[in-house]
Amino acid sequence: MMPIVLWSLSAIALLACGWLASAWFHKRKIGALRQQVKVVKQTAAEHANQARRQIAQLQTEIESRKAAVPPPRRLPEPAKSAPGNTTSTVISDKPKAIKTFVPDKELLPPAGFAHTTIVPRDGFASTEVMA
Q: What is the pTM of this model?
A: 0.41
pLDDT confidence of residue 50: 95
Domain boundaries, the chain: 2-79
Q: Can you give the pLDDT at residue 25?
A: 96
DSSP, collapsed to helix, strand or coil, labels residue 68 as helix
Nearest to 71 by CA among 103, 116, 110, 17: 110
For the chain, the maximum distance between any two Cα atoms, rounded to a whole number of angstroms, is 141
Whole-number Å distance between alpha carbons of 15 and 12: 5
pLDDT of res. 24: 96
- The pLDDT value recorded for residue 75 is 65
pLDDT at 63: 87
Q: E strands of 1-131, at which residues?
A: none
Q: How many CA atoms lie within 13 A of 53 on its CB side?
A: 6
For 18, residues 6+ apart whose C-beta sits below 8 A from its C-beta are none
Q: What is the pLDDT of residue 66?
A: 81
- Give 10-residue mean pLDDT values along the chain (131 residues): 88 96 96 96 95 94 80 66 54 58 55 58 63 56
pLDDT for residue 102: 54
